Amino acid sequence: MQEIFRKILADAVFAPSGDNQQPWTFRLGENYVDIYDSSTPSLYDFKQHATYISHGALIENIVRLAAVEGYASKVKVFPDIKDYKHISRIEFTDAPKTDPESIRSIKKRFTDRMPFLKHRIDARANQAIQEAGQRPPFVRFEMIQSRSLVKKLVDLLAVGDKMILDNQELHKYFYDNIRWTDDEFKRTQDGMHIRSITRNPMMKFLLRILKSWKITKFFRLFGLEYTSYLMRRHIYEKSPALGYFVIHNNWAESYVETGRALQSVWLAATDYDISLQPMSSMLFLYSRLRGNSPESITNWEASIINRVTGNVYKLLGVKDEVITFFVRLGYAKTEIRPPSVRKSPKFIE
């Protein structure tokens, strides 16, 4: 039985996580698996909210994979109040096997940071994606296909890319997670392959130069961060759709449920050959500010984050809820996809 669990986990780890950091370890029991947080601190990860979303996506994979193997899953989130690193326990019982179609996109799914075609998402795909994102009573998922509203929102959300060139800690985090060669990517089995960020040789060269914070600061004198913002905005505003997840409270469990909803949306989109890219950096930074924990965020940066994210909430009419995650969706311009690897699951005794 444990061999089957190991097989399930080997595929389940192809879940999304912040810059592919894979913040999880496992302990196997006779009929259960315990999942633990192994994340490292990040400005984006206030109170582990981003980590909990990643764990939710992992849990969704496990539940689906186990069902195909003939096991029903009972998920207990935060089962040990004395151990905040113990994110979940999943208990398995025998059940009829389910259709493998539910897992066919787990390894096919990837983050597409390239421009999308302007084609509208067809009605069947739109309905399937919207239904996949609902997890009442915890999470609501909404899709936006109004061209004018998409443009207004990406004008705001693209500021998150600019912040990487404004804030030294965010800059370091971004570059620490880039893998520049196939060999490095295969060796570390984490992070973002440079080809997932850009395929343009000139842009790759420029990114290498800007790895130096001193050089980045120098070019900022000439408006580098604003140029970067305009480039990303130009890519984002061509997206035919945006999607966002809303929770009714700020409980940790709701972030885990957001992750399950996110993975369901991503898998449904992939089933219909629709690409997806997370666009949530401003939301994560806003969460940190709302929690009165700015750390290395300057007052000037905080004012931008509050203004931008506040305007996102106003545009969407969200008042007494929390927007946890944003994505853009669309049809890829090219069938070329970046390489995807994962570390083998790490087990603890």
Dump pLDDT digits (tens) for 322-344: 999 999 999 998 776 776 889 99
By DSSP bridging, strand 86-94 and strand 71-77 are antiparallel
**Residue 334: predicted pLDDT:** 78
* Residue 1 neighbours by CB under 8 Å, 6+ apart: 30, 31
pLDDT at residue 328, rounded to an integer:
98
Q: Which of 255, 307, 256, 261 is nearest to 285 (CA)?
A: 307
pLDDT class of 1 with cuts at 50, 70, 90? confident
User: Element (H or E) spanning 242, and its range?
Assistant: strand 241-247
Burial of 99 (0-12, 13-18, 19+ CB in 10 A): exposed
Per-residue confidence (pLDDT) for residue 172, from 0 to 100: 97
Two tokens at 169? 């800690």
pTM over 0.95: yes
Average pLDDT over residues 144-163: 97
**Digit-coded pLDDT (tens) for 172-216:** 999 999 999 999 999 999 999 999 999 899 999 999 999 999 999
**What is the phi-psi region of residue 152: left when phi exceeds 0, alpha when psi lies from -120 to 50, beta otherwise?**
alpha
257: pLDDT strictly greater than 70: yes
Packed helices 49-69 and 281-290: angle between N→C axes, nearest 10 degrees: 120
- Check residue 339 and give its pLDDT: 67
Percentage of the chain exceeding pLDDT 90 = 95
Residue listed under structure tokens 């449904």: 268
Average pLDDT, the chain: 95
Cβ(87)–Cβ(35) below 8 Å: yes
Q: Sort strands 178-179 and 192-193 into parallel, antiparallel or unpaired.
A: parallel
- DSSP code at position 121: P
Element (DSSP H or E) covering residue 247: strand 241-247
Return the pLDDT at 337: 74
Instruction: Give all domains of the chain, ordered by start, each with its CATH number.
Output: 2-103 (3.40.109.10), 123-330 (3.40.109)
For residue range 17-42, what is the model confidence (pLDDT) as tens digits?
Answer: 999 999 999 999 999 999 999 999 99
Q: What's the pLDDT at 279?
A: 97
204-239 tens-digit pLDDT: 999 999 999 999 999 999 999 999 999 999 999 999
Greatest extent of the chain over all pairs of C-alpha atoms, in Å: 63
CB 240 within 8 A of CB 145: yes
Contact in structure between 77 and 94 (CB atoms under 8 Å):
no
**Which pLDDT belongs to residue 338?**
73
pLDDT, tens digit, 9 for 90 and up, residues 59-75: 999 999 999 999 999 99
Q: Are strands 322-330 and 241-247 parallel, antiparallel or unpaired?
A: antiparallel
Q: Which residue has the tokens 């509203």?
A: 149
Tokens linked to 32: 């259960």
